[in-house]
A and B are shown apart, each in its own frame.
Chain A
Amino acid sequence: MSAEIYAILLSIVMVIAVAWPLLLAIPALHSRLYWPRHLAIVPVALLAVLPGNVSLQLPWLLFGTGFTIDDATRWVLAMSVVIWFTAATMITSSKQGFANGRSTTFFLLTLAGNLGAVLANDLVGFFCFTTIMSYGFYALFVQNGNAETQRAGRLYLIFLIIADLLLFEALLLAAFTTDNLRFEGVREAMAKASSSQFYLWVTFIGFALKTGIWPAHLWLSSAFKSTNQATALLIIGVPVVMGWLGAVRWLPLGEHAFGISAMIIQMIGVIGVLYATLKLCTPTSVKIVWMSSGAASLFIAALGTGLAHPTIWRQYEYLGYPFIASLGILLALLIVTIGWTQKTRHQHPAVALPRVEILNRWIGATRQWGEDTLLGLQSLWHVSWLKVVKHYQYSSHWQKLQDFVAGWNATITLFVLLGLALAWLAA
């Protein structure tokens, strides 16, 4: 088989990988199939294992978008396949009512959006597919949920809309600056543009909101608390990891040293990591939220480093996608493990994670957010970490933190250390 024909075949598989789940999302179709969720993943799984890089331009789609599969994308794609497959299996095997037709539609829509976003090679395509993905995910998330889920969904939606607005501004800025909206083109153009600082911040905040780092983690805590395991898994696979991916793709990394902005981003990342670590020690917290938030912060710290020192980024760029993929997989693994342990412990369906404090239900979202933000601000003001530690000491959590670090899950600590190392690599 000649290389050209192979490339064409690969392109076809690539298009099918995105179009197939979309097609199956039609209720009349998937209701007549067995295992529609798994079926939808088949082409993309095939794409993930087939070797070779190919890029396909579709000038008639949107403003002329395209799909690319290369080694870097393949990492994320593989992670997505694993997560989606696991989620599909969980949903199919669960005996609860959420495996109905509508849920399948939303599942497949989200899947298609997710895959499209991973494969898209320009800003508009990415933006478009993440929109489909995000709203599909919202639907998937809230459709069978209780009041708590709905609340979380609402919060997610608010963050999502604001993030989308910001990203749209970034998109306009990019389109205004350059005609070539492919990721490389934008990266180059935006690094040189006069509006690069603004672009950087708009993009950063947009994706930060989407990934749910502190202080935009609120919906995550509600979400993880109230949802089932498969959806929890998808929270990692869909909004969180896609936020990371977007940031890496959109930001003008490795082109231009951003100085103070990059430092601030780094700081935010580090603070996030520390804060998440501390939160993990409080017994009342939902562990997975802070793990996820911590991981996101870690990622952001690394991002800040990349922005501050283009040379370092270029040196380690090849690690970026595997890093994202492995973070995603690890978080997913954690969720599965937690779910499994709880299932064995309580002999109870893994719908709800341990019944965290009842108090939390009483305080409204605003209050909690205010509280968290205040704490965070405090830590910002008192740069002396000792005081923060003291704060926790006085609040008698210190002992528990120690217990936790020692006994519960060593991997977290390892992750934190790894992140810190990466973040301060340049400094």
Chain B
Amino acid sequence: MNWNAWMPPLMIASSLLPGLIIFGLTEERVRLRTVLNLSGALVKLVLVGFVLWGVSQGQQYETRLALLPGLELVLRAGPLSLLFVSLSAVLWLVTTVYAIGYLEHSPHRSRFFGFFSLCVTATVGVALSGNLITFLLFYELLTLATYPLVVHRGTEAARHAGLIYLRYTITGGALLLVATVWLYTLTGTLEFTPQGFLDSLGAEHHTALIIIFTLLIAGFGVKAALVPLHGWLPQAMVAPAPVSALLHAVAVVKAGAFGIVRVVYDVFGVEFAANLGVLAPLAWLAAITIIYGSLRALFQDDLKRRLAFSTISQVSYIVLGTAIAGPVAAIGGVVHLVHQGLMKITLFFCAGNLAETLGIHKISEMNGVGRRMPWTMAAFTIGAFGMIGAPPVAGFVTKWYLGLGALQAGQEWVIIVLAGSSLLNAAYFLPILHRAWFQEPPSTWPKEFDFGRKETAWMLLLPPVITALMALAAGLLATSTFSPLEWAQFIAEHEFSRP
């Protein structure tokens, strides 16, 4: 029996099954639910670790299931997939711990954790997809699984936000569907192949391919929040903090960005796409998004909204790295998938902590909060510096490779965009830090909860501290074995031929 074929489905099942069981649990069964959640997350982590090791040893992990005559569901654990899978697995564990702490005593937890697990399942599925239709399948599943999380609070605002979220994502999904079917009618295959599978098509199809590319990018761009398709993201902030964290760091936004990476590298192929002339507009779109997101972030007083606009900006780094069409920039883009995840999840955890501990939602209320919650704000500081791209936090590594890649590809304008983005990032993060650390705290906080001598509950505090340390380590130990950077280089070598 070939165990390797079982690994991808097992990775998916490790969150799917606990999720399905949790749906059936009553609200009171807190302990069982916690055990299920955590054991699922741990099992997934172990599986991912095992597969990571296997892939680095040259093992193949692939599962195929006939979906339609001539079309198969393919789950394959390639290097790029594993980067995303390991990110989801690690952050799922952390976020689960956080969510357990965050939602203590709040209603509907079974439903929440059920969909939460489904969401991760879909993300892992997106990551493991070996062809476009499998990708599409999990991508839509992700849309469906996140919707209940967005409207979880059940308020009118939540319903409204959910509606807007769906309007964007379902439309994006529809475009994606058309593009996928069209591609299939042209080529008869949808298998992700390094260097793409389209260069055999004749020149008469090039117009069609350009339109398909546009449709695909538009479809994925909705979730990746490319301007002007970003409108849903700030709205979706009504969701509880763990959801925002997961949405921004791992699941939805990343799935979109990951889709773009897949399309450029494994469907079209970098060279072919560059010859087609579609990468330059994509790079410009990404650049515009980077600057626009940062500019909008500057003017937000609501902390979570500011972070949301920051996400819009940061996720486009990935797209930019992909669109620059050079191997070094590719490393930058791919590695930012992980780096942005680590940093942004930290920031959202911290924002959640502030809201849950002191009732702070606005930046103007954050005066002196560093004295009251030093650990939280220390984690926040690391995350913020990472976003700015200051060494030695992970963001620096990304910026380094993006800049270097841009120079190598002869696209110097990217450097200016990066510099502008850093400047704007500094402009909207440093005032927060200044406020938090160096302003006098007010006599009373908006809504303080009592946690005794500790600054907040340990389940809320531990996750951001851990992710902050990981972000720090990813930058500080960038060249050590099994760092995200090393893995990204491994991907660049394996999936894209390095000149």
Contacts and interface: CB of A to CB of B under 8 A. Distances in A.
A and B touch in the complex (CB under 8 A): yes
Interface of A: 27, 59-64, 102, 124, 127-128, 131-132, 135, 139, 142-143, 150, 157, 161-162, 164-165, 168-169, 171-173, 175-176
B112 to A, nearest CB: 35
Contact of A63 (B426, B430, B478): B478
Given A139-B438, A161-B426, A175 B479 contact: no
B196 to A, nearest CB: 28
B480 interface: yes
B400 A175 contact: yes
B399 A168 contact: yes
Nearest to B402: A172
B407 A165 contact: no
B400 A172 contact: yes
Contact of B415 (A128, A131, A172): A172
Interface in B464-483: 475-480
Given A161-B426, A172-B407, 20 more contacts: A59-B479, A60-B479, A61-B477, A62-B475, A63-B400, A63-B479, A64-B479, A102-B371, A124-B391, A128-B396, A139-B437, A143-B437, A162-B423, A165-B423, A168-B399, A169-B403, A172-B403, A172-B415, A176-B404, A176-B407
B427 to A, nearest CB: 8
A145 B390 CA distance: 25
A190 B400 CA distance: 18
B391 A173 contact: no
Contacts of A171: 400
A142 B396 CA distance: 25
Contacts of B391: 62, 124, 127-128, 131-132
26 contacts: A27-B374, A60-B479, A60-B480, A61-B477, A61-B479, A62-B478, A62-B479, A63-B479, A124-B391, A128-B391, A128-B392, A142-B434, A150-B438, A157-B430, A161-B422, A161-B423, A161-B426, A161-B430, A162-B423, A165-B423, A168-B389, A168-B403, A169-B403, A169-B415, A173-B407, A175-B400
B498 to A, nearest CB: 15
B248 to A, nearest CB: 25
A60 B437 contact: no
Interface of B: 371, 374, 385, 389-392, 396, 399-400, 403-404, 407-408, 415, 419, 422-423, 426, 430, 434, 437-438, 475-480
A249 B407 CA distance: 23
A168 B402 CA distance: 12
B400 to A, nearest CB: 7
Contacts, number: 68
A166 B112 CA distance: 47
Contacts of B403: 168-169, 172
B469 to A, nearest CB: 13
A131 B426 CA distance: 13
Contacts of B426: 161
B374 A62 contact: no
A164 B438 contact: no
A102 B404 CA distance: 37
Contact of B419 (A139, A157, A168, A176): A168
A143 B407 CA distance: 39
A135 B385 contact: yes
A102 B377 CA distance: 13
Contacts of B437: 139, 143
A60 to B, nearest CB: 4
A164 B371 CA distance: 28
Contacts of A168: 389, 399, 403, 419, 422
Contacts of B389: 168
Contact of A165 (B419, B475, B479): B419
A151 to B, nearest CB: 12
B404 A62 contact: no
B475 A143 contact: no
Across the A-B interface, the 8 shortest Cβ-Cβ residue pairs: A128-B391, A60-B480, A172-B403, A176-B407, A161-B426, A128-B392, A165-B419, A131-B390
B392 A62 contact: yes
Contacts of B422: 161, 165, 168
A142 B438 contact: yes
A152 to B, nearest CB: 13
Nearest to A154: B434
B350 to A, nearest CB: 18
Contacts of A150: 438
B431 to A, nearest CB: 9
B78 to A, nearest CB: 26
B476 A61 contact: yes
B259 to A, nearest CB: 29
Nearest to A101: B374
B419 A169 contact: yes
Contacts of B478: 62-63
A127 B415 CA distance: 18
B419 A175 contact: no
A161 B428 CA distance: 13
A143 B479 contact: no
B423 to A, nearest CB: 6
Given A128-B392, A142-B434, A157-B430, A60 B477 contact: yes
A131 B381 CA distance: 14
A164 B374 contact: no
A372 B351 CA distance: 42
A161 B374 CA distance: 24
A143 B400 contact: no
A170 B395 CA distance: 18
B202 to A, nearest CB: 38
A203 to B, nearest CB: 15
Contacts of B415: 169, 172
B408 A176 contact: yes
A169 to B, nearest CB: 6
A208 B64 CA distance: 61
Contacts of B479: 59-64
B426 to A, nearest CB: 5
Contacts of B390: 131, 135, 164
Nearest to A150: B438
A176 to B, nearest CB: 4
Nearest to B403: A172
Nearest to A160: B426
Contact of B404 (A60, A135, A161, A175): A175
Contacts of A27: 374
Most buried by A among B426, B475, B477: B426
Contacts of A142: 434, 438
A164 B475 CA distance: 17
Contacts of A63: 400, 478-479
Contacts of B400: 63, 171-172, 175
A172 B419 CA distance: 12
Contacts of A132: 391-392
A389 B165 CA distance: 69
Contacts of A162: 423
Contacts of B419: 165, 168-169
A131 B477 CA distance: 17
A132 B382 CA distance: 11
A165 B437 CA distance: 24
A62 B394 CA distance: 10
Nearest to A59: B479
Nearest to B408: A176
Contact of A62 (B408, B430, B438, B476): B476
A172 B328 CA distance: 12
Contacts of A60: 477, 479-480
A160 to B, nearest CB: 9
Most buried by A among B391, B430, B480: B391
A164 B430 CA distance: 14
Contacts of A127: 391
